[in-house]
A and B are shown apart, each in its own frame.
Chain A
Amino acid sequence: MTAALVVEQLLNGLQLGVMLFLMAAGLTLVFGIMNFINLAHGSFYMLGAFFAASLIQWSGSFVVGLALSVATCVLLALAVEAIAIRRLYARDHLDQVLGTFSLIFFFNEVAASIWGTEPQFIPTPALLSGSVRLLSGVQYPVLRLAVTAFGLLVALALYLLVAHTRLGMLIRAGAADRRMVQGLGVNIGLLFSFTFALGAALAGFAGVITGPLLAVQVGIGEPMLIVAFVVVIIGGIGSIRGAFVAALLVGLVDTMGRFLLPAWFGYALGPALASMAIYILMAATLLWRPQGLFPAARG
Chain B
Amino acid sequence: MPKRGAQWLLALCLLALLAVPLTGEVFYIRLVTRIFVFAILATSLNLLVGYTGLVSFGHAAFVGLGAYSVAALGLHGVGSAWVVWPAAILAAALGALLIGALALRTSGVYFIMITLAFAQMLYYVAVGSARFGGDDGVRLAARNSLGVLNLDKPVLFFYVVAAIFLAVLFACSRVVRSRFGRVLRGIKDNERRMQSLGFDTYRYKLVAFVLAGALAGLGGALDANLNAFASPRLFHWELSGDLLIMIILGGLGSIAGAPIGAAAFIVLEEILSSLTKHWMAIFGPLMLLVILLHKGGIHALLAGKHER
Interface residues of A (CB under 8 A from B): 31, 35, 37, 39, 84, 87-88, 93-95, 97-99, 101-110, 112-113, 222, 226, 229-230, 232-233, 237, 271-272, 275-276, 279, 282-283, 286-287, 290-291
Contact = CB atoms under 8 A, between A and B. Distances in A.
B288 A109 contact: no
Nearest to B118: A279
Contacts of A229: 113, 116-117
A108 B281 CA distance: 8
A287 to B, nearest CB: 7
Interface string B274-300: 000011110111111001100000000
Nearest to B281: A109
Interface string B4-33: 000000000000000000000000000000
Contacts of A226: 116-117, 120, 237
B156 interface: no
Interface of B: 49, 55, 57, 102, 105-106, 108-110, 112-114, 116-118, 120-121, 124-125, 128-129, 237, 241, 244-245, 248, 278-281, 283-288, 291-292
A105 B128 CA distance: 25
Contact of B280 (A31, A108, A230): A108
Contact of A272 (B114, B128, B237): B128
A282 B125 contact: no
Contacts of A103: 284, 288
A272 B125 contact: yes
B201 to A, nearest CB: 15
A97 to B, nearest CB: 6
B295 to A, nearest CB: 12
Contacts of A290: 105-106, 110
B278 A113 contact: yes
Contacts of B124: 275-276
A37 B112 contact: yes
Given A94-B49, A286-B114, A105 B245 contact: no
Contacts of B287: 98, 101-102, 105
Given A98-B244, A233-B110, A237-B110, A84 B288 contact: yes
A113 B114 contact: no
A162 to B, nearest CB: 21
A87 B292 contact: yes
B280 A106 contact: yes
Closest 8 pairs between A and B when the two form their complex, measured CB to CB: A105-B284, A106-B284, A109-B280, A102-B287, A109-B281, A279-B121, A275-B124, A102-B288
Contacts of A233: 110, 113-114, 117
Contacts of B120: 226
Given A108-B280, A229-B113, 12 more contacts: A95-B292, A97-B55, A98-B287, A103-B284, A105-B287, A106-B280, A233-B114, A272-B125, A275-B125, A275-B128, A276-B124, A282-B117
